[in-house]
Amino acid sequence: MKPKEFETEIKNDWCAGCGDYGILRAMEKAFAELGLAPHQIAVFGGIGCSGKTPYYLEVNGIHTLHGRVLPFATGAKLANPTMTVIAVGGDGDGLGIGAGHFVNAGRRNLDLTYLLFNNEVYGLTKGQAAPTIRYGDKTKAMTTASLQSHINPVMLALTSGYTWIGRGYAYYLDQLTTLIIDAIRHKGSAFLEILQPCPVYNDLHDKHWYEYTAASGQSRLYALSDEGYEPSISVNADENMHQEKFAQCVQKAQEWGDRIPVGVFYQDLSAPEFTQQISQQIKSYRERPPAKQVRLEQNSKPMVNMQSLLRKFTL
């Protein structure tokens, strides 16, 4: 299928110039390049402008609840591990109300991809500060400057245990597409922060700000790979390699200002994927995951052998 074929007919109601459009295009391209069939993909959206993404893609789309996109997506993936499951949502959705799930989902190395649209504001509720807004920053919708420090999504993902961590930018279509593909291909929990200008509410960090620095006259954004950055912990890596990759990710995560890295920050290939581990415990899991444990036809008999199951309860 072509990228265009992953586009739905219904009218998109994001604002003109919204970074979300760029992300949408990149997702379509990624799906096309991965050669996935629409019914094999399920995109779960949080609540916010960003959360509307699933409506605009010609794949299974689930519009969940504010802050809960990760547990919803997790449930689906656990129940049917052959699907490609993607969670998308805003920075308020994921790091404000959803921070508890963000952290705890990282602990499971479940093979799903989480795209976080970072526009530093609560778009759909009219521009309040998101947890990503920096100390002292004040966008036009805020009454006063932020008195709180911000959450650094890459750092939080690293701390939480995600095994693939990247950052992209909404308007760099090709790079973003590659990152999304890479994230989906990663067999484990993949977290991709996407810097997303919100032209309506974020007057601090708009397209111009990202793509132009007074100092260099160039974009602030640079690709980690351009500097020879190697994010991956190999399958049989030793403790040293783990520490080294962790430390370099910490360091890169702090960079901000005139130079902002994008690309893959961290990838741990040595960690066993979660459903693999489940199938070691529940041998039938691959063949009969939760989605396939009960026959679909009407009025069947229970498949469980109750006699045998009740034996240990029989006096």
Ligand X SMILES: Cc1ncc(C[n+]2csc(CCOP(=O)(O)OP(=O)(O)O)c2C)c(N)n1
Q: Which residues bind ligand SF4 (CB under 6 A)?
A: 14-15, 18, 20, 49, 119, 123, 198-201
- Please give the structure tokens belonging to residue 151: 């959450």
Q: Tell me the closest approach of the beta carbon of residue 302 to other proteins, in angstroms.
A: 5
CA torsion, ordered 167, 228, 189, 176, to nearest 10 deg: 40
When CB distances are held under 5 to 8 angstroms depending on the partner's kind, the choice from ligand X, other proteins, Mg ion, none that residue 161 binds is: none
35 touching other proteins, by CB under 8 A: no
Binding site residues, Mg ion, CB under 5 A: 90-92, 119, 130
**Residues of this chain, 86-115, that bind ligand X according to CB under 6 A:** 89-93
Residues forming a β-bridge with 57: 7
Residue-by-residue DSSP string for 179-238 = HHHHHHHSSS-EEEEEE---TTT--SS-HHHHH--TTTSS-SEEEGGGGT---EEPTT--
Interatomic CA distance for residues 154 and 124, integer angstroms: 24
Task: State which of residues 3, 34, 104, 207 lies at the interface with other proteins (CB under 8 A).
Answer: 104
Amino acid, single-letter form, for residue 131: P
User: Residues 99 to 128: which contact a second copy by CB under 8 A?
Assistant: 99-101, 103-104, 106-109
Question: What's the min distance (Å) between Cβ of 126 and ligand SF4?
Answer: 8
Strand partners, 263: 167
Estimate the crossing angle of helix 239-254 against helix 153-160, to 10 degrees: 160
Which of 32, 36, 124, 155 is in the footprint of other proteins by CB under 8 A? Answer: 124
> What separation in angstroms does the CA of 59 have from each of 1, 6, 28?
12, 7, 10
The count of residues interacting with ligand X (CB under 6 A) is: 19
Rounded to the nearest whole angstrom, what is the least distance from the CB of residue 159 to a second copy in the complex? 5
Which CB sits closer to a second copy, 65 or 250? 250
Stated as kind and residue range, the H or E segment containing 310 is helix 306-310
* Nearer Cβ to ligand SF4 (90/188): 90
DSSP 65-110: -TT-HHHHHHHHHHH-TTSEEEEEEEHIIIIITTHHHHHHHHHS--
- Residue 36 binding partner per list other proteins, ligand SF4, a second copy, none, with a CB distance cut-off of 5 to 8 Å that depends on partner kind: none
Q: At how many degrees (to 10) do helices 69-79 and 99-107 cross? A: 30
Q: How far is the CB of 248 from other proteins (least distance, A)?
A: 29
Residue 291 binding partner per list Mg ion, ligand SF4, a second copy, none, with a CB distance cut-off of 5 to 8 Å that depends on partner kind: none
Interface mask (CB under 8 A) for a second copy, residues 237-276, using x and -? Answer: ------x--xx--xx--x----------------x--x--
Q: Is 97 among the residues that bind a second copy (CB under 8 A)?
A: yes
**Six-digit token pair at 302?**
């229970």
Determine if 6 is a binding residue for ligand X (CB under 6 A): no
Sign of the alpha-carbon dihedral angle for 166, 232, 32, 171: positive
Q: Could you tell which of a second copy, ligand X, other proteins, none binds residue 306, using a CB distance below 5 to 8 A set by kind? A: other proteins
Strand partners, 44: 62, 87
Binding site for a second copy (CB under 8 A): 95-101, 103-104, 106-109, 131, 144, 147-152, 155-156, 158-161, 243, 246-247, 250-251, 254, 271, 274, 277-278, 281
